[in-house]
Chains A and B, each alone.
Chain A
């Protein structure tokens, strides 16, 4: 393509702007064509028939997000721990932009307060959660508690503020100024898994599993209620439902035998299924369960590891037999749950 000489270009532009400067502010021509959309490649655009450009002036301004003390937002933040975030943008300034995309916006003034929306994005799951604002802070600040850990995430802010500008001696146009920003940040998982067991013996069943309670507790330690249900927890073969509250969620969760125990015949044949759950993801390679002796920090396995079926008559029962399940999540948080066995 032949290049134009810069001097002639400057002259031409200067001439045109000298004419334009005498005219009042006016909406730019829409100009944009309806989009050509291939929904096989961009399915989220199904049903969209408008161009990418707004038909009216709507300025965009810059925004940035900083953490405590004006520092950068950390690349990783922890679930359940409050963090103060601040948005810096001229949208919080005294005056709106005086021009946009070459259009003068004379006598521009704000006409309302800013809408400020903070989101935590789970990029891996393409899920976004609007952060709730609880503390009474300036409009550009938020103290948020990230509740869900992410493997790939972001904190995002969008801001909009109404403004007006003069389009004729006695007429003003109202519109919105917008700003947005998104920073990648990972929310780390600090909650151990909440895994349990489903046990069947001689046609009767019992399930035991923890439930984090209170949810999102901080500071640590996390606590859980352990739910024990089913006939195997009853002394007389009755359905039993026991909730043992306030057990520390972690590597040594022992259900006191006097509160709940599995009642099994000495020659019982039991099948064991795991109930795996975590607020992010259980690392299945770490899952162990079976019969053990005592309730040490590491289960002292008796017999086969991860048995689908366990014949009590074929193992030498320890003095204090327990069933256990051990699991870690992808962040390395570890849980071990012990439930006592009482031989009928």
Chain B
């Protein structure tokens, strides 16, 4: 089939050449007149390509689509080419003697396509170059457009509304395969014609950022605030999470409803680093992260996001005990509830979803709640003193729709009740 198309193209080329010869013969001796009334130069096609993009079927992509797949925050080089950028305009069908009046004006435009199909131009780079490098800071659907415009003198042209067969697809008038374009015309004959060329590529930008996950612990006794139930606690946590767009500042005040609680937050920080350099900050606020019950508000460290699956390029943030975050310290005989939520950059952290959280023993057995809350009656910390008591692990996990995950596994210690109120030492 391909060979036959080439043959068709060859014959079409011969036909066009034959026509050109005939036209040249009949127009002999009237060149100046024909230049003055020459038809407008057709806008040439443009080729626009990305370097090093992902396979067309990446994460279930349609291999028959011309869209390209990229990772968020990863720089990609782009290049484009069109006859409009050549040294002379004759390859576009301009008459002999026509010249470009100057360099092309080149714009690189990025549109974002919303979930509702709306299209919004979010960036334009007028770099006047046929190459560009950029990255996409948010996952989603984009369109990258390149456009060139260039003045041709002596190339004919007519009134601004003289578009010829408007509404019809123009076809090649050069006989050269692929040199087709649309009928265009200049703004005015005196200034020649301003020829344009444009191309657009659809871009699917994939999420490779682990979700932001927050947990809030609320003790339901010994608290000056009226205690919330788990549903209300989730709601208040959600409000706090969305207000900060997933970013947790331990020094910032929390809402009145969350005062007196303890919060653990894992958030992408700094945001929009390259995929291989992505990290998450681990921050705590409240008294449950200190073995002596000290009320703390600080970032205790950062964790690199690892590749979870090389083929799908998903990321995993794993948080465990460190020197600066040894675990969660709850008081014996004090009931508490815990709730967790997650936001994702996939929707610019505009919504919050539930994240799973539970307490397990070291062998993976889930600890049951005592009614609607957790309560531990026997201390297990310091471990040397309570070696016979089980070890507990607080497990929290959030995942986004693309499979990026954040997993927290922190030791949960039960300390003597008097510790927090008497302070300074364990009894």
A interface list, Cβ under 8 A from B: 1, 3-4, 6, 9, 12-13, 16-17, 19-20, 23, 26, 28-29, 31-32, 35, 38, 41-56, 58-66, 72-73, 75, 88-90, 93, 97, 99-102, 112-115, 117, 119, 121, 123, 126-130, 152, 154, 156, 158, 160, 162, 167, 171-176, 178-185
Contacts and interface: CB of A to CB of B under 8 A. Distances in A.
B119 A113 contact: yes
B87 A16 contact: no
Interface in B93-128: 102-107, 109, 111, 113, 117-119, 121, 124, 126, 128
14 contacts: A4-B15, A17-B8, A26-B1, A50-B49, A52-B44, A52-B81, A64-B160, A117-B124, A119-B149, A126-B105, A130-B109, A156-B194, A158-B109, A182-B195
A36 B40 CA distance: 27
Contacts of B170: 60-62
Contacts of A113: 117-119
Contacts of B30: none
B182 interface: yes
Contacts of A100: 169, 180
B4 A9 contact: no
Interface string B74-99: 00010111110111000000000000
B105 A115 contact: no
A105 to B, nearest CB: 10
Contacts, number: 283
Interface in B3-49: 4-9, 11-12, 14-15, 17-18, 21, 43-49
A158 B8 contact: no
Contacts of A6: 18
Given A62-B168, A63-B182, A179-B182, A158 B67 contact: no
A41 B352 CA distance: 55
Of the listed residues B81, B145, B164, B191, the one surrounded by the most CB atoms of chain A closer than 10 A to its CB is: B81
Nearest to B77: A47
Interface in B173-216: 177-184, 186-188, 191, 194-202
B105 A55 contact: no
Interface stretch (B58-66, B316-324, B361-369): B58-66
A158 to B, nearest CB: 4
Interface of B: 1-2, 4-9, 11-12, 14-15, 17-18, 21, 43-49, 62, 64-67, 77, 79-83, 85-87, 102-107, 109, 111, 113, 117-119, 121, 124, 126, 128-131, 143, 145, 147, 149, 151, 159-161, 163-172, 177-184, 186-188, 191, 194-202
A64 B166 contact: yes
A62 B47 CA distance: 18
Contacts of B44: 52
B18 A66 contact: no
A154 B47 contact: no
A162 B199 CA distance: 11
Nearest to B133: A47
The CB with the most chain B CB atoms within 10 A, among A50, A175, A182, is that of: A182
Given A62-B166, A126-B105, A178-B200, A29 B5 contact: yes
A51 B171 contact: no
Interface SS majority for chain B: mixed
B168 A44 contact: no
B44 to A, nearest CB: 7
Contacts of A99: 169
B149 A156 contact: yes
B329 to A, nearest CB: 54
Contact of B191 (A65, A167, A179, A184): A184
Interface centre among A55, A72, A102, A115 (most CB of B within 10 A): A115
Contacts of B164: 62
Given A1-B21, A126-B128, 7 more contacts: A13-B15, A20-B4, A117-B107, A154-B149, A160-B143, A173-B66, A176-B66
Given A65-B160, A160-B143, A178-B200, A9 B18 contact: yes
A180 B198 contact: yes
B131 A59 contact: no
A286 to B, nearest CB: 27
A3 B389 CA distance: 100
Contact of A62 (B65, B87, B167, B202): B167
Given A52-B44, A54-B46, A154 B187 contact: yes
B161 A130 contact: no
Nearest to B181: A60
A162 B202 contact: yes
Contacts of A88: 163, 166
A183 B130 contact: no
Nearest to B106: A44
**A-B pairs with the 10 shortest C-beta distances?**
A160-B200, A184-B187, A180-B196, A183-B187, A53-B178, A182-B194, A130-B124, A158-B147, A64-B163, A180-B198
A55 B47 contact: yes
A184 B186 contact: yes
A93 B167 CA distance: 9
Contact of B161 (A55, A64, A117): A64
Given A64-B166, A174-B65, A9 B14 contact: yes
B14 to A, nearest CB: 6
Contact of B119 (A31, A114, A185): A114
A60 B43 contact: yes
B198 A178 contact: yes
A28 B5 contact: yes
Contacts of A38: 87
A68 to B, nearest CB: 13
Contacts of B80: 48, 50
